[in-house]
């Protein structure tokens, strides 16, 4: 119950208690006064009747006395009129019942009136001739007592309502700062840090507001400092100071992770770009001009990758650049290579380059090779391009010759058929707690059967790029979500289950409405569901992600950012994302033991996540040593082959 409601009830109770006491005292005093008046009335009547009837009583004229008594009694003001001898023997008496008209019976029983009986002695000279006894009727007194009580109650009700209304308004004004503080506290829990501008007049409340403002500002400053520190450390460790791109170390970490994880990264390729005559250009134009050429080259490469947000661009050293393209087939890889090369060649005129032979590009498509083998294959393609002709581009196909080459239309037909026939399966991998090894949730991965090789299944990383390019991503995601929800209903997932969705689904028309309607009728499934989006996709659709969280969060759905930390997005956007899980990209987990700055960065990310009420999960935990180090860095859990293989 709200504090204002409690105070209103307290005030109402006190007012009611005050009224009850006032009413009892008022009625009791009025009743005592009326009883006294009834006694005086009876005494006056007895004295008057005794004086007027003495002569007739002394003469024995009973008829006249009777007439006098009847005349007085029939007025209805008396319960009893009796003439008696000095010995107490009644010789004339008139009496009636105490009937009260116009007053409720319960009121008569609750506040009884006992009219006193009065008497007067009749004297004839010095001789006593008898006694008159009179008792007044309480009817009029009850009527007056009833009217007085009603008026008192009416005045009290009006006064109480006015008092409660004034109290409610006063409390609302008085407690408004507490409401502001409550909103501020809720905002802090929601990773926002507002300041209450309005200061209350009440000293104690003012101190509470000022303390909360200081707390909000301090927490915000602490998070900002942590974010700045993390970004600075990441910049120094992983970012090239000239171009702002990933440096060689960061690129190799990403490449090794992507090459080793075929579940998530089954297609794509590596492109190497080398500027021609860069050493001579430096000597001729100076190092400042050389740095400008590198910066403009990096900007040109990044500028043509607007439709490939997951690509990693790096300045390896000197004149060498690298681009790691994820989730792309051979045709798209060559298309991207040609666009990159054309953008770099276009720098000839703006920068007044000495030769039109600006750069060569070599690339290799993902196959079964390791990171080093893929790098060597791309380097061989680059050397071939340099031998072939000026500004040449050479791309080597997949090293895995068992792979079936399909065109875009074939991929689309195969995916549509798999959706129609429900020819897909889900594998799950556990996410375990760092503290005690208990299961936190499962993460599921999609696979479809390869129609050309029935014994082989294709990971989502192989066919999802084709699904996204063909506009089928939301249909695939719907099928996966429906399958998972059905599995939750059958009890196949006792813990929460995380489903990876395509960034394209965030903006797909009708997708949110469909999912909201589906989960509204299945509260148990909603409470067990985690929706995961890759960081690069979430940052590109942040407004849509917030809409999803606002719509599905109240149903119990949780949200996760996947592959966090691979790029160089500012950490500050995490405050507004309001996700529940932060999953650190596997490229940051590799070689933790050999790099102190990696460990420090991971610890800082964990602290930022915890400050924003997020659980921090490490991906791609492949060895026991990595897991032990991660547990000491403050992460909440991990996923990887060391902790459990996909089943």
- Which CATH code, of 3.50.50.60, 3.40.190.10, 3.30.70.270, 3.40.30.10, is assigned to 243-396? 3.30.70.270
- Residue 403: what pLDDT? 44
- Residue 266: what pLDDT? 65
Does residue 530 have a pLDDT over 90?
Answer: yes
Mean pLDDT of 245-274: 83
Q: Which of 514, 501, 422 is nearest to 467 (CA)?
A: 501
Specify the 3-state DSSP secondary structure of 35: helix
Mean pLDDT of 33-49: 89
Q: How far apart are CA 39 and CA 47, in angstroms?
A: 12
- Residue 188: what pLDDT? 75
Q: How far is CA 348 from CA 178, 341, 582, 597, in A?
A: 65, 12, 43, 39
Which tens digits make up the pLDDT trace of 324-359?
Answer: 998 777 788 899 999 999 999 999 888 888 888 899
- Residue 643: what pLDDT? 92
Does residue 256 have a pLDDT over 50?
Answer: yes
Which tens digits make up the pLDDT trace of 135-170?
Answer: 998 888 888 888 888 888 888 888 888 888 887 887
How far does the chain reach from its first CA to its final CA, in angstroms?
49
* Range in 307-316, 464-473, 482-491 with the lowest mean pLDDT: 464-473
How confident is the prediction for the chain on average, in pLDDT? 85
* Long-range pairs for 97-106: beta carbons < 8 A, 24 or more residues apart: 98/137, 98/138, 98/139, 99/139, 100/138, 100/139, 100/142, 100/143, 101/139, 102/143, 102/146, 103/142, 103/143, 103/145, 103/146, 104/146
408-638 fold: TIM Barrel (3.20.20)
Class of domain 3-161: alpha beta
- Residue 514: what pLDDT? 94
**Alpha-carbon torsion (617, 621, 627, 633), positive or negative:** negative
pLDDT tier, 17 (very low <50, low <70, confident <90, very high otherwise): confident
Mean pLDDT of 271-278: 92
8 Å CB contact between 505 and 473: yes
- Residue 497: what pLDDT? 95
- Residue 262: what pLDDT? 62
Mean pLDDT of 232-256: 88
Task: Identify which of 31-40, 110-119, 220-229, 508-517 has the greatest average pLDDT.
Answer: 508-517
Does residue 186 have a pLDDT over 50?
Answer: yes
Q: How far is CA 479 from CA 410, 429, 476, in A?
A: 20, 19, 5
Does residue 180 have a pLDDT over 70?
Answer: yes
Global pTM value:
0.69
Neighbouring CB atoms inside 10 A of 312's CB total 24
β partners of residue 93? 82
Mean pLDDT of 232-237: 82
Domain ranges across the chain: 3-161, 243-396, 408-638
Task: Identify which of 2-6, 73-77, 220-224, 640-644 has the greatest average pLDDT.
Answer: 640-644
| Within this chain, domains 3-161 and 243-396 share the same CATH topology | no
Mean pLDDT of 358-375: 86
Question: Over pLDDT 90: what percentage of the chain?
Answer: 29
Which tens digits make up the pLDDT trace of 400-428?
Answer: 444 455 667 777 888 888 888 888 889 99
- Higher pLDDT, residue 517 or 1: 517
* Range in 106-115, 167-176, 284-293, 385-394 with the lowest mean pLDDT: 167-176
pLDDT tier, 598 (very low <50, low <70, confident <90, very high otherwise): confident
The bridge status of strand 615-618 relative to strand 637-638 is parallel
Does residue 454 have a pLDDT over 70?
Answer: no
Mean pLDDT of 100-124: 86
């Amino acid at each position: 119950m709200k504090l204002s409601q409690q105070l209103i009830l307290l005030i109402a109770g006190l007012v009611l208690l005050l009224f009850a006491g006032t009413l009892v005292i008022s009625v009791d005093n009025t009743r005592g006064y009326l009883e006294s008046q009834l006694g005086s009335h009876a005494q006056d009547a007895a004295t008057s009747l005794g004086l007027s009837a003495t002569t007739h009583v002394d003469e024995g004229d009973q008829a006249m006395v009777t007439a006098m008594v009847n005349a007085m009694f029939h007025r209805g003001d008396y319960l009893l009129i009796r003439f008696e001898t000095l010995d107490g023997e009644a010789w004339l008496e008139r009496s009636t019942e105490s009937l009260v008209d116009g007053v409720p019976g319960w009121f008569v029983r609750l506040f009884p009136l006992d009219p006193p009986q009065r008497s007067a002695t009749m004297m004839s000279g010095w001789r006593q001739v008898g006694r008159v006894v009179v008792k007044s009727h309480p009817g009029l007194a009850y009527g007056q007592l009833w009217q007085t009580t009603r008026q008192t109650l009416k005045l009290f009700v009006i006064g109480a309502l006015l008092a409660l209304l004034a109290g409610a308004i006063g409390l609302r004004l008085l407690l408004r700062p507490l409401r502001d503080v409550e909103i501020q506290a809720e905002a802090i829990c929601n990773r926002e840090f507002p300041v209450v501008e309005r200061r209350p007049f009440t000293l104690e409340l003012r101190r509470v507001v000022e303390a909360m403002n200081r707390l909000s500002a301090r927490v915000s400053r602490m998070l900002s400092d942590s974010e700045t520190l993390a970004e600075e450390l990441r910049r120094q460790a992983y970012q090239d100071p000239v171009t702002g791109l990933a440096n060689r170390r960061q690129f190799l970490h990403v490449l090794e992770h992507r090459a080793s994880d075929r579940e998530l990264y089954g297609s794509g390729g590596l492109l190497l770009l080398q500027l021609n005559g860069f050493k001579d250009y430096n000597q001729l134009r100076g190092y400042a001009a050389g740095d400008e050429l590198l910066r403009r080259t990096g900007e040109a490469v990044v500028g043509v990758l607007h439709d490939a947000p997951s690509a990693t661009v790096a300045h390896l050293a000197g004149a060498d650049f690298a681009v790691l393209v994820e989730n792309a087939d051979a045709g798209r890889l060559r298309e991207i290579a040609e666009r990159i090369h054309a953008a770099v060649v276009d720098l000839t005129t703006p920068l007044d380059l000495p030769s039109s032979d600006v750069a060569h590009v070599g690339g290799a498509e993902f196959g079964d090779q390791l990171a080093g083998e893929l790098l060597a294959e791309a380097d061989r393609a680059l050397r071939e391009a340099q031998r072939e002709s000026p500004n040449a581009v050479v791309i080597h196909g997949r090293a895995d010759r068992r792979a079936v080459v399909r065109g875009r239309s074939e991929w689309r037909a195969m995916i549509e058929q798999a959706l129609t026939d429900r020819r897909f399966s889900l594998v799950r991998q556990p996410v375990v707690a760092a503290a005690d090894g208990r299961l936190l949730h499962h993460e599921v991965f999609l696979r479809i059967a390869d129609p050309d090789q029935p014994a082989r299944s294709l990971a989502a990383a192989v066919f999802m790029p084709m699904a996204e390019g063909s506009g089928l991503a939301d249909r695939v995601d719907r099928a996966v979500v429906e399958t998972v929800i059905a599995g939750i209903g059958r009890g196949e997932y006792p813990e929460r289950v995380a489903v990876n969705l395509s960034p394209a689904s965030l903006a797909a028309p009708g997708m949110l409405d469909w999912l909201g309607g589906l989960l509204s009728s299945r509260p148990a499934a909603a409470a067990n569901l985690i929706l995961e989006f890759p960081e690069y996709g979430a940052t590109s659709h942040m407004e849509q992600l917030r809409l999803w969280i606002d719509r599905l969060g109240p149903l119990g759905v949780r949200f996760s950012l996947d592959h966090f930390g691979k790029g160089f997005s500012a950490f500050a956007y995490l405050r507004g994302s309001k996700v529940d899980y932060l999953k650190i990209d596997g490229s940051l987990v590799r070689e933790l033991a050999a790099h102190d700055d990696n460990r420090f960065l991971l610890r800082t990310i964990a602290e930022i996540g915890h400050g924003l009420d997020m659980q921090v999960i490490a991906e791609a935990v492949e060895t026991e040593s990595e897991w032990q180090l991660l547990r000491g860095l403050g992460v909440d859990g991990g996923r990887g082959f060391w902790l459990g293989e996909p089943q």
